[in-house]
Structure 1
């Protein structure tokens, strides 16, 4: 086993390992995403150009760049809403993305697993292995999506009703009650989703389908650390994406070229999150399953 994977890691060590692994194996991870997700982004660019979006720059009206961006955004929204063909195209893109994004993440997970075991692999081989788990991944992802929907929609209904009923008697009490309920539900939902979030790895690596019970066991006593890592990764990804979009948007407006640049950056940030997700899972696995101890016993038997 790779020595970087053979012991439990702290919060900072997981982040450090994620970025070092992303740097050292950048070409492999990025190529996986480029092969699977790249064609979707190319199709999106084609649809935008067919819909009338300028390739190099969208003008808009206004005296300064951010006014032109806002103006062009409004125009783009109006144009898109009036173009049935473009709308259908974007729906198709969304559906294809829903299918291929999990496959890409599974391929990266397989690649990290090979690295963990010091095994050779190719980009093509891990993509092929990811497709062999397509149906279990799809079924489990749909089930997880339904769980997320339920966990989100029920609190919204409860908070809205509580706030409305409270506001009819005392507006201040109603607002405070809605805020407290919202915060309580937010923490509870984040806790539950974190506990179940590693179902995907269990399904991909054939350790249990749909994988929710295994994820629940693995995340025991590590939930808040994992939630903190999710928050950090989200902040890093959103900061990079926002910085690139605002910087290039000042010169390119909402053009096809800007969309392509943002999508390339999205591949990069998706790679970071996918690698981090894999590192987090294998850290949980080694804590729970004592894989390092099992390997030492196997090595001893071979001697």
Structure 2
């Protein structure tokens, strides 16, 4: 057993381990997401080119250069650039989204298998871990669909609830301040509950892929016991890192290239990197939880044996 995975880690140690693994094994991790998601993004670029989007630089209508750049993202293209609405491009985008939703969990599972081999000091190859990821295709996809439906329900129901609360608040309070306060308080309470529940179930993928325990929601619930708020904090940190990186590239290249094919390709490469980083962090968190939980189970068995 690799010593880096064999002991429970604190908040900062999980981040440090994630960054060190991402740096030392960047080639393997990035190649995994590139092989699985790279062709999808290439197909997206070809669809954009076929729909009339400029490769190097796109500008929309506007009196100034800045207005043209902004309008290129809102779909207000000049006649030379093509129509504002392209049915083929919209259908292509939907297809790309569907394929990405299918292959992203497989890429994450392949990175989990890679970390599991490192954890056990076993030899591996990119081809092997991708094959292992696809070997659990249906349990992973089925579990992901179930989790996605849960997320959708947790988004739709709160919006409906907040809307109803807003209507009743408007009837009870004479001023808009009371309505706003009611909506904000209700939103924060619901958001806290949703974040807690989704965090408790979020490690279903590790259970479905590594432990062959699909859909893995129960296993995830047990693994995250007593570590929920630490995991939420880690999710927030990774979200901030990914958000800052994406925003920096979007603003920098967007102001130069507009909503062009090259701009989309650059952002897709950045997305591959951030996907890889989060997948490694997710794997480190999962195996840390597994180490803690398995150690607790072993201690309980030892205590029971000693009592007997």
2:134 alignment partner in structure 1? 131
Out of 257, 269, 282, the residue aligned to residue 277 of structure 1 is 282
The two structures have a TM-score, normalised by structure 1, of 0.93
191 and 66 in structure 1: CA distance in 2 versus 1, 3 angstrom threshold: farther
1:67 alignment partner in structure 2? 67
1:114 & 1:76 partners in 2: Cα distance?
50
Q: CA RMSD in A?
A: 2.0
Q: Does 1:164 align with 2:167?
A: yes
- What runs of 5+ residues in structure 1 fail to find an aligned partner? 298-303
1:76 & 1:261 partners in 2: Cα distance?
22
Q: Does 1:43 align with 2:43?
A: yes
Q: Does 1:149 align with 2:175?
A: no
5 Å-filtered alignment, 1:39-118, equals: 39-62=39-62, 66-75=66-75, 82-118=85-121
Cα shift readout 1:271-294 (whole Å, capped 9, x = no counterpart) = 000000000000000001029979
CA contact (8 A) 2:75 2:84 kept: no
TM-superposed deviation, 1:61? 4.3
1:252 & 1:73 partners in 2: Cα distance?
11
Cα shift readout 1:159-211 (whole Å, capped 9, x = no counterpart) = 11111111123132222111100000000000000000001100001341111
- What runs of 5+ residues in structure 2 fail to find an aligned partner? 303-308
264 and 76 in structure 1: CA distance in 2 versus 1, 3 angstrom threshold: farther
The two structures have a TM-score, normalised by structure 2, of 0.91
Equivalent residue of 1:31, what SS? Answer: helix
76 and 18 in structure 1: CA distance in 2 versus 1, 3 angstrom threshold: farther
1:179 & 1:52 partners in 2: Cα distance?
44
Q: How many residues matched?
A: 295
1:97 & 1:75 partners in 2: Cα distance?
23
TM-superposed deviation, 1:73? 1.4
Dislocated runs of 4+, deviation >3 Å: 61-66, 76-81, 291-294
CA contact (8 A) 1:285 1:291 kept: no
1:80 & 1:224 partners in 2: Cα distance?
48
Equivalent residue of 1:248, what SS? Answer: helix
TM-superposed deviation, 1:231? 0.5
5 Å-filtered alignment, 1:95-244, equals: 95-170=98-173, 171-244=176-249
1:204 & 1:129 partners in 2: Cα distance?
9
265 and 255 in structure 1: CA distance in 2 versus 1, 3 angstrom threshold: same
CA contact (8 A) 1:2 1:118 kept: yes
CA contact (8 A) 1:51 1:86 kept: yes
1:60 & 1:81 partners in 2: Cα distance?
10
1:124 & 1:212 partners in 2: Cα distance?
28
TM-superposed deviation, 1:149? 1.2
TM-superposed deviation, 1:152? 1.4
CA contact (8 A) 1:14 1:279 kept: yes
Equivalent residue of 2:75, what SS? Answer: helix
